[in-house]
A and B are shown apart, each in its own frame.
Chain A
Amino acid sequence: MKTSFKLITFIFATSMLFLFTACGEDANNNKNEKDSLNQDVTEINEDNLITYLVPSPKDMFAFTKKGDLKYSANVLNAKDNADKYIDTKSQEIGFGIYSADLAYTAAFNQTNTAGEYLKVVESLSDKIGLGSVFTESLINRFKKIENKDSLLKVTNDTYYDIVKFLENNDRNTSLSLISVGGWVESLYIVTNLQNKYQKDNEIIQLIADQKNIFENIVLSLQQREADPNVADLIQELQAVKTVYDGLEVIKIENPNVKNAKANQIIVGGSTKIVMTETQFNQLKKAIADVRNKLAGSDV
């Protein structure tokens, strides 16, 4: 009888433990589920039902590598800055920054520099619990890189593995901090490579169009604002937000669209985000300030 009681207690305790560890950040979803089960309660956590998507750094460089921009190593975050990252927030943001540097060097086929930055990324990954992503197999793939495409593929696969690992382990806040670090560094690099404002320039338009992505970043961070690290980061991005909030969205006519077939949908085309020279310079300064602060150059 005593053994049976112990056994029931054990099963119950194990079940509860497993439930809580398995659900992780889905706790709010569970809450919604429980609420829905109770027909008198309709409370829904709106934040949990909306996912704001943010592209990875490679997206930005996919455009720039075919443009007129020239590679410069000066825009990279110094490798020894990684030693300054003591707390988890700076390590995760720093991981995003160096991931962007890695994507940048890969996009411009800088194999040797990419190898050096991979080591920094690998070192930081250990500190933030992502060490298992950097398997011997991945490192060997990197050593065997023969051309630009394979370099890009390895760096892209690495980023994919990291996202997969973070999602599987419900580390959504970590994913947010890494995404912000990557986006800030990517924009810092592109605004420096472009350097001067030119009207009707495609890179300038790409930078202006980041308004949509930045809005997603901020909204995504606001969902996790209860975390003091995230709240701090929102404050640090305020100057960038001020510039992007000030960009005008104008209506346009006769967009250059092609004829759509079945399953092909034309979107956009009726509005365009406009950035003036003053706003470009303001953004360039704001993004450099926040990047240097996050990257540790100002520490």
Chain B
Amino acid sequence: MKTKLIYIIALFLVFPLFSDAQSKCSDFFRYRRPEAPYEYNDQSSSAVCVTGQTYEFILPLTKGKDFRLKFYAAAVFNNKINFKIIDESTHETVLDLPGESADRAEGTCVLADYYNEDNGKSSHPYFDFYPATSTTLKIIIEVLPVPQEQSDNPNVKKQAKMNRGCVTVVVLDKPSDNSSF
């Protein structure tokens, strides 16, 4: 009986250690929702990312719709993520911003909320894309490495510290004002 009890306690001790791994990106589904007049687009996606890696999302956009993109990242990354978007049809970089900027002003960063003067509320950054013809966007997400601790002892081999968490790309759309469909 005592042994059984120990096993049960052990189970409770072990499982919370991996609760983050278990939840993965499910917590981020709350961000994947429509925001009138924009509808939710099923190309929205989440990925479990690791610091020091660069990830790409290849997103085709169809003419006739206006698209809104929003990004969210796990707190473990501390907004230390760079975002770049390349229009594949022109090969031009159409967005190149950090996750967070010093002044947190509108249009200066991708992840940190800013004060919206229009409604007097805190708003999450968004970016609107208008495809003049159908095209594809390459979204490049660079999750910056964690600064490494320095050791004075040259015999101590430094081990890279890594963080792991979810990054979510939310895609919304609405019929284009110019669309004749």
Contact = CB atoms under 8 A, between A and B. Distances in A.
A55 B56 contact: no
A117 interface: no
Contacts of B95: 265
Given A213-B60, A264-B130, A271-B133, A36 B50 contact: yes
B89 A271 contact: yes
Given A19-B18, A22-B22, A257-B130, A263 B136 contact: no
A168 to B, nearest CB: 5
A110 to B, nearest CB: 20
Contact of B62 (A6, A209, A262): A209
A272 B132 CA distance: 10
Contacts of B48: 26, 29
Given A164-B29, A267-B129, A37 B160 contact: yes
Interface stretch (A43-51, A71-79, A288-296): A43-51
B7 interface: yes
Given A18-B15, A53-B60, A270 B7 contact: no
Nearest to A211: B134
A53 to B, nearest CB: 4
A193 B85 CA distance: 36
Given A33-B50, A264-B130, A270-B89, A216 B162 contact: no
- Max count, chain A CB within 10 A of own CB: residue among B17, B22, B134: B134
For the residues of A in contact with B, the DSSP-based class is: helix
A62 B181 CA distance: 9
A299 interface: no
A67 interface: yes
Contact of B132 (A15, A163, A267): A267
Interface string A36-71: 110100001000011111111011001100110000
Interface in B1-33: 3, 6-7, 10-11, 13-15, 17-18, 21-22, 24-26, 29, 32
Interface in B31-71: 32, 39-43, 45-48, 50, 52-65
Contacts of A168: 24-26
A265 B21 contact: no
Given A49-B53, A50-B56, A202-B181, A262 B18 contact: no
For the residues of B in contact with A, the DSSP-based class is mixed
B50 A29 contact: yes
B25 A266 contact: no
B150 interface: no
A37 B159 contact: yes
Contacts of B175: 62, 66
B122 interface: no
Given A50-B58, A66-B181, A267 B135 contact: yes
17 contacts: A7-B7, A15-B17, A18-B15, A18-B18, A22-B22, A37-B160, A50-B56, A51-B55, A55-B62, A58-B42, A63-B62, A156-B39, A267-B129, A268-B131, A268-B132, A268-B133, A270-B133
The 6 closest A-B pairs by CB, nearest first: A269-B132, A268-B135, A209-B134, A56-B42, A268-B133, A53-B43
Interface of A: 3, 6-7, 10-11, 14-15, 18-19, 22-23, 26, 29, 32-33, 36-37, 39, 44, 49-56, 58-59, 62-63, 66-67, 156, 159-160, 163-164, 167-168, 202, 205-206, 209, 212-213, 215-216, 219, 252, 255-258, 260, 262-273
